[in-house]
Amino acid sequence: MSVRRKSASSRFVQQPAAQFYDRFVESIKQRIRTVQIKAALAANAQLVLHYWEIGRDILASQKREGWGAKVIDRLANDLQREFPKLSGYSARNLKYMRAFAEAWPDSEIVQQLAAQIPWGQNCVLLDRLRDAATRAFYIRKTVEHGWSRSVLIHQLDTDLHKRLGKAPSNFALTLPSPQSDLAREILKDPYIFKPAPLDESATERALEKALLDRLKDFLIEMGAGFAFVGNQYRLEVNGDEFFLDLLFYHTRLHCYVVIDLKIVDFEPEFAGK
């Protein structure tokens, strides 16, 4: 009987190359994150649809049985008694469900549109807007840009739907379509900024500093796609030196956007610059 001696190398599992393994782990992590996001979105959509169905049934029952508004308080108490650890079924939220179903009577539209944003943001829109088309505008923008509740409220406070795409421009004459359409749609008229308070003697440089001190709010008002490059950005053209007050890069237009600050009323010569 013969005995074979195993080589030392066979006793160890071969380790993968570090670079390949790092990429492998990162790809798995990304898959997990993607699944988590999809699961959260699916859960949110199901919750919003569930709330809509309850609101629809409350509406139908009130109409059929002649129940008054007090039935919602009674329903909230009964549900709380049955599900004491379950939140979301207070009288206040049940009233939102009823208003939600009344505002969006079509279940398909709810699934395709309203269910794409969190319930809390739907409640904000119910409180602030009566027009379905305007609510749809803000829902689409929220989905497109991933607005938080606070950012959505800011956009509502400043009437974004009345300002977006309204700025006068010469884009149609100077840019090819569809780039001209895209450029026009990203601009607002007017822009509403709230820098630190300035007195009447403030200079353009003081205004620039005040805006930069609140850069986050400034970028939110500028809109999605604007990336801040710098202030007092130096350019040299044909031997002449220029300083741009504020320079941005727009990630969708793939172009730079220059802002020249003025603290006086607009004059025609400004447009030439």
Residue 202 covered by a domain:
yes
The residue among 157, 178, 202 that closes a domain is 157
Q: Count the domains in the chain.
A: 2
Q: Out of 71-75, 102-106, 242-246, pick the least confident.
A: 242-246
How far apart are the C-alpha atoms of 221 and 155, rounded to whole Å?
8
Instruction: Give SS3 for 245.
Output: strand
Average pLDDT, the chain: 81
- Please tell me whether residues 145 and 200 are part of one structural domain: no
How far apart are the C-alpha atoms of 202 and 204, rounded to whole Å?
7
- Please tell me whether residues 200 and 134 are part of one structural domain: no
pLDDT band at 179 (very low <50, low <70, confident <90, very high): low
- Please tell me whether residues 40 and 146 are part of one structural domain: yes
Radius of gyration of the chain (CA): 28
How far apart are the C-alpha atoms of 210 and 204, rounded to whole Å?
10
User: Tokens standing for 216?
Assistant: 């986050």
- Please tell me whether residues 52 and 152 are part of one structural domain: yes
For the cut 50, the answer to whether the pLDDT of residue 13 exceeds it is: no
- Please tell me whether residues 46 and 135 are part of one structural domain: yes
Residue 187 covered by a domain:
no
- Please tell me whether residues 30 and 148 are part of one structural domain: yes
CA-based max dimension of the chain:
104
- Please tell me whether residues 134 and 219 are part of one structural domain: no
Helices (H) and strands (E) in the chain, counts: 13, 3
For the cut 80, the answer to whether the pLDDT of residue 238 exceeds it is: yes
Residue 167 covered by a domain:
no
Q: Say what the pLDDT of residue 137 is.
A: 94
The residue among 111, 139, 157 that closes a domain is 157
Mean pLDDT value of segment 80-84: 92
Q: Is the preceding omega at residue 16 within 30 degrees of 0, hence cis?
A: no
| pTM of the complete model beyond 0.85 | no
- Please tell me whether residues 40 and 127 are part of one structural domain: yes
Q: Say what the pLDDT of residue 33 is.
A: 87
- Please tell me whether residues 27 and 93 are part of one structural domain: yes
- Please tell me whether residues 44 and 115 are part of one structural domain: yes
Q: Are 115 and 49 in contact (CB under 8 A)?
A: yes
Residue 168 covered by a domain:
no
Parent domain of 239: 193-272
Q: Are 169 and 183 in contact (CB under 8 A)?
A: yes
Residue 1 covered by a domain:
no
How far apart are the C-alpha atoms of 43 and 51, rounded to whole Å?
12
- Nearest to residue 43, comparing CAs of 116, 140, 128, 112? 116
How far apart are the C-alpha atoms of 190 and 193, rounded to whole Å?
10
How far apart are the C-alpha atoms of 117 and 47, rounded to whole Å?
11
- DSSP designation for 188: B
Measured CA to CA in angstroms, residue 205 lies from 192, 208, 212, 245 at distances of 19, 5, 11, 8
Residue 85 covered by a domain:
yes
**Under 8 Å CB-to-CB from 223, ≥6 apart: which residues?**
164, 186, 188
**Under 8 Å CB-to-CB from 13, ≥6 apart: which residues?**
none
User: Tokens standing for 272?
Assistant: 């030439």
- Please tell me whether residues 135 and 33 are part of one structural domain: yes
Residue 139 covered by a domain:
yes
For the cut 60, the answer to whether the pLDDT of residue 206 exceeds it is: yes
Residue 29 covered by a domain:
yes
Q: Say what the pLDDT of residue 1 is.
A: 45
- Please tell me whether residues 130 and 217 are part of one structural domain: no
